[in-house]
Structure 1
Amino acid sequence: MQHETSEPQTRPRFGCLAGDLAAATISASVVAPAVTIIDRAIVEKSSFNQPLFRGLHAHAMVALKRPAPFVFHRPFGIAWTLYAATYSVANGADTVGRALQPSAVGTIGFLSTTLVNVPLAVWKDLSFAQAYGIKPSTTSKNQISAMQAASVRNPAVLRAATAIFVVRDGVTIFGSFTLAPRLSAAHPQAKPVITQLTVLVLTQLVATPIHLLGLDLYTRQKRVPFSDRLVQSQRYLPSSIVLRCVRIIPAFGVGCLLNLELRSFFHARL
């Protein structure tokens, strides 16, 4: 008798989790191409002054003309994994939290999403810096491989760059999960979606300089004065801020909204 009553209760829950996973997978697939192209262009601009719009155009054309190599290239897989995992955990935490502890669903979602998103985002940024931080046209393949291997084997650089990227993500997470909801509550006449996107864009004014410093530390591993590193890393700050603000739209705007809509769609049919 107990088994008969528990089975109908578990079916909708597992069905909703399947919908959560499907929504996250589709949303990540939509977001990952734009994020991959933009983040690569930012790394190349910061590392060897590759013009941003030239890089964006070139990488977008490659993605359009040769979609299979682009999709199955490791950087795309890393970006896709980041957002698929983030959306999946956010969705699943909300579903499970509402079923088990509705009063704590916000805290559960925030902590679980942060624990997944931050290390994956750092992994993505370090991987992009390793893959795209060296100019191919002026460096042989053997030199590139040696430099990439050296960067992987340098634990001091890895720890410092990781710490900087964690601080950067902390700024974005604070804006998304703390500042934006408070502003929405203080100004109920404003649409939450507009507030969320506005705050996330404004956080890039703080997060982008930190991001560029982390990239400079990872790509220039020689000993240099901190003041020189700071000046060098911020040379392209205005254009990088603009691009990272634009990047927020697919990652946290289109992706999050699409994920929510698909999740609601699947939940209504499961």
Structure 2
Amino acid sequence: MAPKIPGLEMPVQEVGNASKMTPVPIQQVPQAPLKEPHVWNTKNIGLRMASDFVSGFCAATLVAPIITVIDKGIMQNASGQATLKSSLQSSLTTFLFRPHTIVFSKPFALICMLYGGTYLTANTLDTFTSTTQNKPASYITSGTAKFAASSTANVGLCLFKDQAFARMFGSGGPPRPVPLPSYFLFTARDCLTIFASFNVPPLLGPVISRQMGEEVQRVVSGQTVAQFLAPAGVQIVSTPMHLLGLDLYNRGGRLAWRDRWKIVRKNWGVSAAARMCRIIPAFGVGGVVNSKVRKNLMTRLE
């Protein structure tokens, strides 16, 4: 046997009486670097999820009365049950003197479901992200995932709300299915509103800021102005889609498009103004209340 030299990982070959060392290199297998274990922030996860729910539906309950009144008025005006002015006056009077009849009504519950579900979806995504990425509980996302999740929730819930409102405040007679073209028109309307609410303000805000003086920017930023202006402004374009979808339900699908356009054009201006008034509390006031309540609750749980 060839002798081993301590400390060297190589055999020694014997040649006659002399020993000749021939190094035989040993290939080392590279070791993978140790990975740190992924840590999730699960502290108070149950209370954090409860906070998501509370903040979302607190905001929805706050803005639901005015949105319920306006949506009912638009529906009744489109179906011919009442003018927008008379419907608004009647609903506001009822809310002032008998608020329980509004608060405990099905239309109010549908509006709370719509915006509470939208806010809750956004809040839940923030909590999921903060948990899986080990971020603080009050962490807020602003990426594509949040836009997609909130948009999907809002469009789906809004379609359910609209078909229910159309049956409650439509042209009368026995309830009938909402036609498929109406669903398409309502979806296009909501996509425009959501795009204007989430995508346009970051682009429009810097443009507005450049047109504002420094003194004005100390009071309000261009981003804030854009956040209110863009969703309200897009109602000029989306309102005809809303009115046409309602007309297809109220008068059926056998009328000429020229006759439908006359109805849409007649109600365009007043309905667009009313929808602008409902967008401000829905995506302005409601969004701010939801964010502030959630941040306050989450900060206490960190």
Shared fold per TM-score greater than 0.5? yes
Q: Residue by residue, what CA displacement relative to the aligned partner does 1:135-187 show, whole Å, maximum 9, x if unpaired?
A: 6xxxxxxxx3x2x1xx23xxxx5211101000001111111121122222555
Which of residues 248, 254, 264 in structure 2 aligns to 1:233?
A: 264
Q: Residue by residue, what CA displacement relative to the aligned partner does 1:88-117 show, whole Å, maximum 9, x if unpaired?
A: 111111222244358985122111111111
In the other structure, the counterpart of 1:178 is 199
Evaluate the alpha carbon distance shift between residue 99 and residue 191 of structure 1 in structure 2; reply closer, same or farther with a 3 A threshold: farther
Q: CA deviation at 1:122?
A: 1.2
CA contact (8 A) 1:47 1:134 kept: yes
The TM-score normalised by the length of structure 1 is 0.85
- State whether structure 2 residue 149 is matched by structure 1 residue 112: yes
Aligned residues: 249
Distance 1:22 1:180 in 2: 27
Distance 1:100 1:107 in 2: 17
Q: Alignment partner of 2:245: what SS?
A: helix
Evaluate the alpha carbon distance shift between residue 14 and residue 57 of structure 1 in structure 2; reply closer, same or farther with a 3 A threshold: same
CA contact (8 A) 1:212 1:234 kept: no
CA contact (8 A) 1:213 1:234 kept: no
Distance 2:159 2:166 in 1: 11
CA contact (8 A) 2:205 2:224 kept: no
Structure showing greater relative contact order (alpha-carbon pairs closer than 8 Å, 6 or more residues apart):
1
Q: Highest Rg: 1 or 2?
A: 2
In the other structure, the counterpart of 2:186 is 165
Letter in 1 for 2:88: L
Q: CA deviation at 1:78?
A: 0.8
Which of residues 144, 161, 166 in structure 2 aligns to 1:124?
A: 161
Which of residues 48, 55, 72 in structure 2 aligns to 1:16?
A: 48
In the other structure, the counterpart of 1:206 is 237
Which of residues 93, 100, 117 in structure 1 aligns to 2:125?
A: 93
Q: Alignment partner of 2:56: what SS?
A: helix
CA contact (8 A) 1:133 1:219 kept: yes
Letter in 2 for 1:129: A
Matches within 5 A, 1:27-106: 27-48=59-80, 50-100=82-132, 106=143
Q: Which runs of 5+ in 1 are unaligned?
A: 136-143
Q: CA deviation at 1:74?
A: 1.3
The TM-score normalised by the length of structure 2 is 0.76
Q: Alignment partner of 2:179: what SS?
A: helix
Letter in 1 for 2:110: I
- State whether structure 2 residue 299 is matched by structure 1 residue 268: yes
Letter in 1 for 2:287: C
Identity %: 34
Q: Residue by residue, what CA displacement relative to the aligned partner does 1:239-264 show, whole Å, maximum 9, x if unpaired?
A: 11111111111111111111111111
Q: CA deviation at 1:49?
A: 6.3
